[in-house]
Amino acid sequence: MQRYTTKRRLVLVIGLGVGVGLVGCSREEVQEKQSVGKAEHNTAHGQESGGHEHKPGAHGGAIVEIGEDSYHAEALLDAEGRVRVFMLGSDETRIKELRDQALTSYIKGDGETEAVSVELRGERQDGDSEGMVSQFVGELPANLRGKSLTVTVPNLPIDGERFRVSFRLEAGGESHGSNAVAMAPQEERTLYLTPGGKYTQEDIDRNGATVPSVKFQGVLTEHDDNPQVGDRICPISKTKANEKFAWVIGGEVYTFCCPPCIDEYVAKAKEKPDELKPADSFVKQ
């Protein structure tokens, strides 16, 4: 099957420079704390300063440090021009749930004189507890798309404390965000960003509202034709699956040997949903 490729010249990326302040519960006592992103920290203090490498965001966004590594978030723009903030714990591989609520953010485009207020609404992910959410979503105004932006959430309540979080969205360079997706081939965007059959809107959201040519850009494909007993195998090729090439289909996480096989299985989920087998059935016997 044909592999999707495209050149990206102007796309939007989440900057790694982050400023975070902690607002105490008392109005009389406000403690200011500063934290910076990984790249800025290493430049200022060197590798021996005690900083650590943040893991790549699972949805292709940038990891934002909150409260000197007490918490983290993954910030990105999805294919529809929405800001998504996924809440994470001190270990950024762990999901952090907050009370379901709306957060006020202020977004200022470079060259603009005033920031625009954008509401970030709580949106449940699969597995979130009742009344709790682990992501917040807001619609980016059309006049700010394509610009370098500063996004500030002045009052983010976590575990009885309140944090002021700011991060940059830089124009230019490579991205896993909305502009990169918009530049993907129309056929690929139609396949992956429209639900059908057993491929649902929830699946699309859990996959980060992206496409394989963007999500797996730069990931090398290595086929192993001799899977061992107990190994996960690709639903299409039956060769050993690569855990890097995972995709949610029908509410289950399937792993594949390469992106073209994901194309084929998503198409099958939409066109022949009754022929899908459970993800855990693809194991070498």
- What residue segments make up the domains of the chain, in order of their start? 12-178, 185-281
| Cα separation, 86 vs 57, whole angstroms | 9
Tell me what pLDDT residue 55 has: 58
Tell me the one-letter amino acid at 153.
Answer: V
Q: What is the CA radius of gyration of the chain?
A: 20
**Quick check: 212 and 192 in contact, CB under 8 A?**
yes
pLDDT at 147 (0 to 100): 72
pLDDT score at 80: 66
β-strand partners of 108: 150
Q: pLDDT value at position 137?
A: 93
pTM higher than 0.85: no
Q: Going from the first residue of the chain to its last (285 residues), give the mean pLDDT of each consecutive group of 10, the final group possibly shorter.
A: 39 38 37 35 36 60 82 80 88 92 91 88 92 92 76 94 83 46 82 95 86 83 90 96 94 95 97 96 95
The residue among 237, 224, 238, 246 whose CA lies nearest residue 284 is 238
| 254-275 exposure pattern, b = at least 16 Cβ within 10 A, e = fewer | bbbbbbbbbbebbebbbeeeee
